Amino acid sequence: MGQGIVQAVRLLLAGDPEVWSVTWLSLRISATATLLSLAVGIPLGTTLALSRFTGRGVVISLVNTGMGLPPVVVGLFVTIVLWRNGALGFLELLYTPTAMILAQLVIAAPIVIGLTLAAIQQIPDKFRLQLLALGASRSQMVWTLLKEARLPMLAAVMAGFGAVISEVGASLMVGGNLKGSTRVLTTATVLETSKGNFDIAIALSLILLALMFLVNWALTWIQQRRAA
Amino acid sequence: MVIARRLFLALLCSLWLVAPALAQSGTVILSTTTSTQDSGLLDTLVPLFERKTGLSVKTISVGTGQALALAARGEADVVLVHAPALERKYVEEGKMQNRRLVMYNDFVIIGPADDAAKIKGLPKAVDALKRIAETQSRFVSRGDKSGTHLLEQALWKQAGIEPKGASYIESGQGMGQTLGIANDRRAYTISDRATWLAFQKRIDLPILVEKDKPLLNIYSVMEVNPANGPRINVAGGKAFADFMVAPETQAVIKTFGVDKYGQPLFVPIAGKSDADVQ
């Protein structure tokens, strides 16, 4: 472990181009997937929170189940769809960063939907009625609710990002762990472990943890600053 | 409105990643085994190929069983694997074509130095497995349909033994992890020599049986039948197969590993037939 820390610092300080590119790719893919999952998840979560329809309970249960989707299962299904023989085979996306973003989007979206739903629902119903009574239009009302729910929503961002940057099963399957194009921190860690390069594997793990900390630190800073 | 603008920006950012992925002609998908990747051989050969042809290679490194299954579905353009019997089956079925030998190295039977089953120095791998089974010594199997696992199964079959019971451990993982488990459980296992060499610092399992003919580990390259599916890069697959057996490539294989392990990891055999080697 001590040797791993020394190795990690050395790899970063030496500016090992491969380690940097793997780190940068991890961040790029997972950040893109998280942003897209927000674009999909916030509207869906809000709609689900504010609407009433038959079967709503089932839909919410499905979303809650989706919050714990096993990444390997997502990886397998996205792979099958993207196969040359598959439904979207003509796009030739398998083993590209785009395929990884797609898989990570599927993993993160239910988390964002579920946490958005919870965030909006924890606002008392009376507040919503009051807004409407004060003459707010529906879109103004939704906008105010989202602003009110921004603290738990940032938690949704952190949870979504944390889930996708740390998963390995889906990235390995749909990305193929290709050097220089789809190798990210988690898949590189698996590879180096299987090669017996435990020092490098530990170093990559520490870099991953540091990256997650930095991103969450920034998000927490935004969250707490707005809270104050 | 701030959120809408941010979302729009997010979508723009994602396009930046999608755009380069749309143009993919000139890509060859190689499905191969973990050993060619873990030994570092492909890290040396693939850049040479890419510089020479301008094609880019996507190396999917999985077990031999999966590598062949993917190619049979048309999900790869060329395969580099090490399971001659299974390869011949795929060629007979017409899924693969133009099978050519590339190189070989060998498998070794390794185990704890105290060698409870007393197999050290046995000339025949089959006899070693018989003794391991008779003494109920622990044995770790890959259990993953890899080339190594297929060879192990063939040896058990020859020995007339169906391995089972608590002393037969199936790891279901790659060679590296399997070596770690065998080391930890003080068990026997079969490994390719290249991976065993690479793990010397981590494990304490000496070679007990080696150099028996059935322990030869022969790698061949095969092209994928274009009829297996849509969008197969036939020319690219053939170009890679030709590259693997070309004299310059064979010369690189011949010396690969000398700088790191003091001995070459593979013996090039392009142009030879199974009968020449075995």
B3 inside domain:
no
The domain boundary, picked from B196, B215, B234, lies at: B215
* Burial label, A16 (beta-carbon count in 10 A; 0-12, 13-18, 19+): middle
B39 inside domain:
yes
Q: Which CATH number fits domain A2-227: 3.90.1150.10, 1.10.3720.10, 3.40.640.10, 1.20.120.80?
A: 1.10.3720.10
Q: What angle do CA A194, A196, A198 make, to 5 degrees?
A: 105
d(Cα A120, Cα A58) in Å, to the nearest integer? 19
Distances (CA, A) of B61 to A145, B65, B91, B216: 49, 11, 21, 21
- Tokens encoding B167: 């002393």
Name the residue among A213, A167, A197 with its Cα closest to residue A19.
A197
Please list, residue by residue across B92-104, b when 16 or more beta carbons sit within 10 angstroms of its beta carbon and e when fewer do. eeebbebbbbbbb
Same domain for B129 and B191: yes
Question: How distant is the Cα of B158 from the closest Cα of chain A, in angstroms?
Answer: 30
Same domain for B224 and B190: no
The domain boundary, picked from B215, B232, B251, lies at: B215
B152 inside domain:
yes
Instruction: Provide the percentage of residues in chain B whose pLDDT is more than 70.
Output: 91
Strand, helix or coil at B58?
strand
Q: Which residues contact B224 (CB under 8 A, 6 or more apart)?
A: B71, B74, B76, B77, B78, B79, B95, B96, B97, B232, B234, B237
Q: Which residue of B has its CA nearest to A181?
A: B58
* Mean pLDDT, chain B, integer: 90
pLDDT tens readout for residues B63-77: 899 999 999 999 999
ipTM for this model: 0.77
Cα distance from N-terminal residue to C-terminal residue, chain A: 39
Distances (CA, A) of B139 to B116, B129, B151, B167, B217: 12, 9, 15, 6, 20
Maximum distance among all Cα pairs of chain A, rounded to whole angstroms: 66
pLDDT, residue B176, reads 86
Tally of domains within chain B: 2
B18 inside domain:
no
CATH of the domain at B233: 3.40.190.10
The verdict on a CB contact (< 8 Å) between A97 and B17 is yes
Q: How many residues comprise chain A?
A: 228
> Look-up: residue for tokens 């060619």?
B36
Helix or strand run (H / E) with residue B182 = helix B175-184
B51: domain range? 24-105+216-277
B213 DSSP assignment: G
B80 inside domain:
yes
Name the residue among B187, B215, B197, B185 with its Cα closest to residue B278.
B215
Q: Which residues contact A68 (CB under 8 A, 6 or more apart)?
A: none
Could you write out the DSSP letters of every residue in B120-173?
TT-S-HHHHHHHHHHTT--EEE--SS-HHHHHHHHHHHHHT----STTEEE--S
User: Residue by residue, what is the 3-state secondary structure of A24-54?
Assistant: HHHHHHHHHHHHHHHHHHHHHHHHHHHCCCC
Number of Cβ atoms within 10 Å of the Cβ of A124: 9
- Tokens encoding A102: 């797609």
pLDDT tens readout for residues B127-150: 999 999 999 999 999 998 899 999
Same domain for B101 and B60: yes
pLDDT in tens, chain A (228 residues): 677 778 778 877 787 888 889 999 999 999 999 999 999 999 999 999 999 999 999 999 999 999 999 999 999 999 999 998 899 988 989 999 999 999 999 999 999 999 999 999 999 989 988 999 999 998 999 999 998 898 888 999 999 999 999 999 999 999 999 988 899 999 999 988 887 788 888 889 999 999 999 999 999 998 888 655
Same domain for B54 and B187: no
Strand, helix or coil at A93?
coil
pLDDT, residue B89, reads 96
The verdict on a CB contact (< 8 Å) between A35 and B10 is yes
The domain boundary, picked from B215, B241, B266, lies at: B215
List residues of B whose CB lies inside 8 A of any A CB: 3, 7, 10-11, 13-14, 17-18, 21-22, 24, 27, 29, 34, 37-38, 43, 58-61, 73-75, 173-177, 179, 198-199, 201-202, 229-232
Maximum distance among all Cα pairs of chain B, rounded to whole angstroms: 78
Question: How distant is the Cα of A94 from the closest Cα of chain B, in angstroms?
Answer: 9
Confidence label for B154 from pLDDT (cuts 50, 70 and 90): very high
Strand spans (E) along B215-275:
216-224, 267-268
B8 inside domain:
no
B200 inside domain:
yes
B5 inside domain:
no
d(Cα B247, Cα B231) in Å, to the nearest integer? 30
d(Cα B19, Cα B23) in Å, to the nearest integer? 8
Name the residue among B148, B132, B115 with its Cα closest to residue B34.
B148
Q: Is A91 on the interface with B (CB under 8 A)?
A: yes
The one-letter amino acid at A36:
L
Q: What is the reported pTM?
A: 0.83
Task: Check pLDDT > 80 for residue B6.
Answer: no
Backbone angles phi, psi at B261, to 5 degrees: -115, 0
Could you write out the DSSP letters of every residue in A136-154?
--HHHHHHHHHHHTHHHHH
Q: Which of A95, A101, A171 to mutate to test the interface with B (most CBs of B within 10 A)?
A: A95
